[in-house]
């Protein structure tokens, strides 16, 4: 997509999260991250850059103000919509924080859509499509499985595609899946228990098993020497937090470059 927008919804009420996610995805065409646990939201902010934070205030473990403070240290320019059913309780405290909109529950969803577009912008849904649709087996290697599930959802949702995606939480699992699943692309974190991702990559390349066509590093580690070594090995390096659509575009481009595509005749046969 062109001009893609990413939002994260943080609320301990799963019903609210699901309704807002459906609205943002289906009607506004946003990519959407969700968290009913505020700590998960903090972890997501360390991985992914987003345009809009939709945040409840009254939550266990961390309240909305704490989440906002932490996210803003990572992403100071993020737009913020507060949703709350306890406005009177937090009215004074809200005067001391910078947010773009305060929405009271129950939410008027038509007004909410207008607010989202006004604050964070709309999405251009048209993309110039080639007749060649990317077709690849993709292995995600990261010890944070929940984060991988989010990424898997976005990769499979980047239509049109013929992707298959598997997840490995350790280098050992990655070695096994590399031979069983035979991935074309391997996306890996560097910092993992027992064996670093870059070491895993080197061992797969040097081993006698399946050889993926491309490795892509996704990591918060910003060591210059490591980055240069990976680039010399032909491994693109993306630093966390990153924008999801940039990774999706990279995957599409690399599939076309490596001839990992579904040809029109194949599509017709299917």
DSSP state for residue 216 in the 8-state scheme: E
Mean pLDDT for the stretch of residues 177-199 = 95
Neighbours of 206 (CB within 10 A): 8
Mean pLDDT for the stretch of residues 42-68 = 91
Q: Exposed, middle or buried by CB within 10 Å (0-12, 13-18, 19+), for 208?
A: exposed
Mean pLDDT for the stretch of residues 253-261 = 96
Mean pLDDT for the stretch of residues 70-97 = 88
**pLDDT at residue number 123:** 86
Q: Is residue 268 predicted with pLDDT exceeding 80? A: no
Average pLDDT, the chain: 90
Q: Where would I find the beta strands (DSSP E) of the chain?
A: 6-10, 31-35, 52-56, 79-84, 101-104, 133-141, 162-168, 185-188, 214-219, 237-239, 261-262
Q: Is 163 helix (H, G, I), strand (E, B) or coil?
A: strand
Class of domain 133-268: alpha beta
- pLDDT above 70 covers a percentage of the chain that reads 94
**pLDDT at residue number 187:** 98
Q: Is residue 55 predicted with pLDDT exceeding 50? A: yes
Mean pLDDT for the stretch of residues 190-205 = 94
Q: Is residue 233 predicted with pLDDT exceeding 70? A: yes
Q: Is residue 38 predicted with pLDDT exceeding 70? A: yes
**pLDDT at residue number 127:** 53
**pLDDT at residue number 140:** 98
Q: How confident is the model at residue 224 (pLDDT cuts 50, 70, 90)?
A: confident
User: What residue spans define the domains of the chain?
Assistant: 6-120, 133-268
Q: Is residue 134 predicted with pLDDT exceeding 70? A: yes
CATH number of 6-120: 3.40.50.2300
Please tell me which of 31-45, 89-103, 113-127 the model is most confident about, judged by mean pLDDT: 31-45
Give the pTM.
Answer: 0.84
Are 139 and 177 contacting, i.e. CB atoms less than 8 angstroms apart? yes
**pLDDT at residue number 201:** 97
Which of residues 95 and 117 earns the better pLDDT score? Answer: 117
Q: How confident is the model at residue 252 (pLDDT cuts 50, 70, 90)?
A: very high
Determine the Cα–Cα distance for residues 34 and 22; give it in Å rounded to an integer: 11
**pLDDT at residue number 126:** 57
**pLDDT at residue number 90:** 77
**pLDDT at residue number 269:** 44
């Amino acid at each position: 997509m062109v001009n893609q927008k990413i939002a994260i919804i943080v609320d301990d009420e799963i019903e609210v999260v699901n309704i807002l996610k459906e609205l943002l995805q289906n009607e506004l065409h946003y990519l959407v991250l969700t968290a009913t646990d505020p700590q998960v939201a903090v972890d997501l902010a360390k991985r992914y850059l987003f345009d809009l934070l939709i945040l409840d205030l009254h939550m266990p473990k961390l309240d909305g103000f704490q989440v906002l403070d932490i996210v803003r240290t990572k992403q100071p320019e993020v737009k913020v919509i507060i949703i709350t059913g306890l406005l009177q309780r937090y009215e004074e405290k809200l005067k001391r924080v910078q947010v773009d909109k305060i929405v009271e529950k129950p939410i008027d969803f038509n007004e909410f859509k207008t607010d989202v577009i006004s604050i964070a912008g709309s999405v251009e849904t048209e993309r110039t499509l080639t007749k060649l649709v990317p077709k690849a087996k993709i292995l995600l290697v990261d010890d944070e499985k929940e984060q991988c599930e989010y990424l898997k959802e976005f990769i499979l949702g980047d239509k049109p595609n013929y992707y298959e995606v598997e997840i490995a939480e350790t280098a050992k699992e990655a070695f096994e899946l590399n031979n069983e699943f035979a991935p074309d692309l391997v996306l890996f974190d560097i910092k993992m228990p027992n064996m670093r991702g870059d070491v895993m990559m080197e061992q797969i390349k040097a081993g006698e098993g399946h050889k993926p066509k491309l490795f892509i590093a996704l990591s918060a580690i910003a060591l210059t020497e490591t980055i240069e070594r990976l680039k010399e090995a032909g491994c693109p390096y993306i630093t966390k937090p990153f924008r999801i659509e940039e990774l999706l575009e990279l995957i599409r481009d690399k599939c076309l470059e490596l001839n990992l595509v579904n040809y029109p005749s194949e599509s017709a046969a299917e």
